[in-house]
Structure 1
Amino acid sequence: MSRFILQGGKKLSGEFVVAGMKNAATPMLAATMLLSRPVTLRGVPDILDVRRMCELLKGFGLKIERTDDTVLVDPTHLSGAKPSNEIVKRLRSSVLMIGPVLARTGKISFPTPGGCFIGSRPIDTHLDAFRQLGIAVEQDGNDSYALEVKKSDASLVILSEFSVTATENAVMYAALLDKTTIIRMAAAEPHVQDLCNFLVAAGAIIKGIGTHQLTIHGVKDLHVDEWRIVPDQIEIGTIAIAAAVTKSKVDIHPIVPEHLDAILTKFLQIGVSYEIIKDHLIISGGNSYKHFNLQALPYPGFPTDLQAPMAVLATQANGLSLIHDPMYNARFSYIQELTRMGAQAVVCDPHRVLLTGPTKLYGERIKSFDLRAGATLIVAGLIAEGQTIIEDAEMVDRGYERFDERLRLIGADITREDE
């Protein structure tokens, strides 16, 4: 077990180099199972979730070599092995193995995946999508499912929600079908777009990328030599908020500006100054911010993974702010830790929290309950008076590459202590 130790009150400055997107890397790795030849992925973040996904791939017979942010994947010896229960139970994105393995081998037995506890996240949407595509789904024990491809003319999937991973699963399966498949109510997040663009580069024909209806013309063979994963939208937003609350000027790059529309629109409303120069986002933190209302929504709305860091910004804004996350029902675990640090916050219900600012925060010994909560508490620790100790640093390792080291490069006083 590890912990982060921060001394607050330090200004940040300089350039923060953004890693590849966590939520794009894991589906991209899963998608390599569809390919007939080796592929080189660049911009792959060295994070715990990616390492676990690579171990799962190895269990299916894939060969993987890593050098810095480059991963070479050889899928030519894919087998129909059952995935490791231990890894699946610790990795939510392991569910993305289902579509590619079904497409390549015709069947899979899969336990219910784990990951961060941020509320109810069943895989029903995935299973329903596969059923609509003619796949037989049976419960294989109390906590496992057996899926098998059956001959079917089904070509339409209507998802019951804008599920990112269910969209990705259905797209990957459809990419190798010898027919046209339409997916309605598809998610449109940047990482879904990146996956679709990767599959197009590999030979699939996909129309409607970035919209809520995808049309996939499957092909018999997919192959691509290399691909670079897009910069992490959530990491960009987290560092931008850190710069804002510490009243600092930080140059964040590389970025994809159109991925940040909802975030930057909210910054304008609040009074956070920024400038975009090519693929650089330059944040200039100020002394006064307006209170705000924020609702997390599917893309192109405000990303749910950034509502928690925005709560820290709300503690420094003038007046009463409301944060509403209708997407998950247990995403405010970090609020009790912020209140211990001095935040004035009231959780109205599982989806809404009110915060009053500006409020001075004080260093405390606190706990990271999930990935995004951990990053949020680091942001809070940057502005807290005194020392902040954040237990369970490994939670942050799941999604942020060497976060403490990279924060030190822009002036943060943060160290890591291993037990």
Structure 2
Amino acid sequence: MQKLEVFGANKLKGQIKISGSKNASLPILAATLLSRKKIYLKNLPRVKDIETMASLLQSLGSKIKFNQNNLVIDNIKQRKSFAPYSLVKTMRAGILVLGPLLAKFGKAKVSLPGGCAIGTRPVDIHLDALSKLGVKYKIVQGYVHAIAAKGLIGNKIRFSKISVGATENLIIAASFAKGTTVLSNCAIEPEIKDLVNFLKNMGCNIKWISKRSVKIEGVSEVKEITYQVMFDRIEAGTYLVAAAVTAGNLKIKHIIPKIIQTEINTLKKIGAKINVKKDEVHIIGNKKIKNTNIKTAPYPGFPTDLQAQIMVLLCKANKQSVIKEDIFENRFMHVAELNRMGAKISTNGNTAKVTGNINFAAAELMATDLRASVSLILAALTTKGKSVINRIYHLDRGYENIEKKLKKVGAKIRRVN
């Protein structure tokens, strides 16, 4: 099993080009199932979750060709509607094939999803909403058996709570439903806007009618298109924090800064110097880091996917900070590992109190999920000595060439078997 060795105490300097967004690519890949033509996708990150989703689509009958970060999907002979556990178990995004399969075939059998063990992530919001489009379903031995005997029929649906996955699944499904669907209390993450933009390019009729409401007029076919996926805002945020925590000097390129305005504002508040240009952010970390309180929230709030990373930075702040995790109930698993490195973090339910003025010590570490694993790298970058991070398969699910990108800006890091 592979590990990462990190030798710390280096300031990061240089520039990093941000990859395409994993969290935008996955629903867009699922949405390609609506098509019976060729779809050309550009700027996909070559990470494990993308490879798993591609394998899932191939198991459903899609023909896929990769050319570095570009991909061609041919669904001319795509006929299957069964998504097996073996492919869905490692990522929650597998459930996103349910909507397009129901829209296309009127039936689907899809395994309940897996992914990082950071919370329950129930699919009941997906299923309740799909039932309002005319779907009848039952769960048998870990599989959703769903059927829409008369096809999907448009309806007015209000989500019981804001859910990124359910919003994506229903937007895709409703694009082929008969009549009009209005979805309210939607998630509005940039990745969802990217999905909508992709669907509209294919010929779907989708319009935002208020901040969290979208109106969809169903269509019966879509056209062949070429589409470029947006940048990965969580990767961008991770490297911004890396610059801040090492008192480094980085240019983060190939991004749209306004999309990560909340993260930029937070880092400025903590003490980083940030200069924003059209498609890049230049950040200079400050040795004096100010404490702050953070609460994760749906977009445009502070992202839960950056909570572990910002916690590392706040361990170096001048005073105590408080982080409240309001998205997932089990997302403090990195705390124990950071405390082993010398952090002083206490948790109570969904609240973490982070004592400042900490110097991390090198240690052997265990990654527990995708974002926790990268937080351990950030902490290790500040230490004297060698840290070893185990179970980095979590990391490979969502970060493209992370050790190569960090090496280019001065980090001492290597992958070993």
- TM class by shorter chain equals over 0.9
CA distance in 1, matches of 2:210, 2:393: 33
Contact 1:66 1:72 in 2 (8 A): yes
Contact 1:188 1:210 in 2 (8 A): no
1:387 aligns with 2:386: yes
Identity of aligned residues (%): 35
Superposition TM-score, scaled by structure 2 size: 0.98
In structure 2, the residue matched to 1:318 is 318
In structure 2, the residue matched to 1:410 is 409
What CA deviation, in whole Å up to 9, does each residue of 1:202-255 have, x standing for no partner? 111211188311111121111242111100000000000000010011001111
1:357 aligned counterpart, secondary structure: coil
CA distance in 2, matches of 1:153, 1:3: 50
CA distance in 1, matches of 2:204, 2:337: 47
CA distance in 1, matches of 2:153, 2:267: 48
Contact 2:271 2:285 in 1 (8 A): no
Letter aligned with residue 309 of structure 1: Q
In structure 2, the residue matched to 1:160 is 160
CA change 1:153–1:73 in 2 (3 A) is closer
1:297 aligned counterpart, secondary structure: coil
Q: How does 1:7-406 map to 2 (within 5 A)?
A: 7-139=7-139, 141-151=140-150, 153-208=153-208, 211-349=211-349, 351-406=350-405
CA distance in 1, matches of 2:15, 2:224: 33
CA distance in 2, matches of 1:212, 1:148: 28
CA distance in 1, matches of 2:326, 2:280: 31
CA distance in 2, matches of 1:333, 1:2: 21
1:176 aligned counterpart, secondary structure: coil
Contact 2:316 2:357 in 1 (8 A): yes
2:263 aligned counterpart, secondary structure: helix
Gaps of 5+ in 2: none
Superposition TM-score, scaled by structure 1 size: 0.97
What CA deviation, in whole Å up to 9, does each residue of 1:325-351 have, x standing for no partner? 1111110000000000001111122x1
CA change 1:153–1:202 in 2 (3 A) is closer
CA distance in 2, matches of 1:417, 1:209: 51
Contact 1:193 1:209 in 2 (8 A): no
Q: Which moves more between the two structures, 292-301 or 155-164?
A: 155-164
Letter aligned with residue 345 of structure 1: I
Letter aligned with residue 404 of structure 1: E
1:50 aligned counterpart, secondary structure: helix
CA change 1:111–1:52 in 2 (3 A) is same
Contact 2:22 2:50 in 1 (8 A): yes
1:208 aligned counterpart, secondary structure: strand
Contact 1:59 1:81 in 2 (8 A): no
Letter aligned with residue 83 of structure 1: A
CA distance in 2, matches of 1:273, 1:306: 19
1:383 aligned counterpart, secondary structure: coil
Q: Give 1:367 shift.
A: 0.4
Runs of 4+ residues over 6 Å off in structure 1: none
Letter aligned with residue 47 of structure 1: V
What CA deviation, in whole Å up to 9, does each residue of 1:126-159 have, x standing for no partner? 11111111111112x2311211113375511111
Instruction: Give the total of aligned pairs.
Output: 416
CA distance in 2, matches of 1:209, 1:375: 38
2:219 aligned counterpart, secondary structure: coil
Q: Which moves more between the two structures, 377-386 or 232-241?
A: 377-386
Contact 1:112 1:144 in 2 (8 A): yes
Q: Give 1:164 shift.
A: 0.6
Contact 1:201 1:224 in 2 (8 A): no
1:40 aligned counterpart, secondary structure: strand
Q: Give 1:270 shift.
A: 1.3
Letter aligned with residue 108 of structure 1: A
RMSD over aligned Cα atoms: 1.2
What CA deviation, in whole Å up to 9, does each residue of 1:178-218 have, x standing for no partner? 31110011110010000000001111121118831111112
Letter aligned with residue 396 of structure 1: L
What CA deviation, in whole Å up to 9, does each residue of 1:278-322 have, x standing for no partner? 101111111111100000000111111001100011011110100
1:281 aligned counterpart, secondary structure: strand
Gaps of 5+ in 1: none
CA distance in 2, matches of 1:284, 1:197: 34
Q: Give 1:262 shift.
A: 1.2
Q: Give 1:369 shift.
A: 0.2
Letter aligned with residue 170 of structure 1: L
Letter aligned with residue 387 of structure 1: K
Q: Give 1:371 shift.
A: 0.3
Letter aligned with residue 343 of structure 2: A
CA change 1:183–1:356 in 2 (3 A) is same
CA distance in 2, matches of 1:77, 1:91: 25
Letter aligned with residue 146 of structure 2: L
Letter aligned with residue 79 of structure 1: R
Q: Which moves more between the two structures, 406-415 or 203-212?
A: 203-212
Contact 1:248 1:285 in 2 (8 A): yes
2:355 aligned counterpart, secondary structure: strand
Q: Which moves more between the two structures, 314-323 or 257-266?
A: 257-266
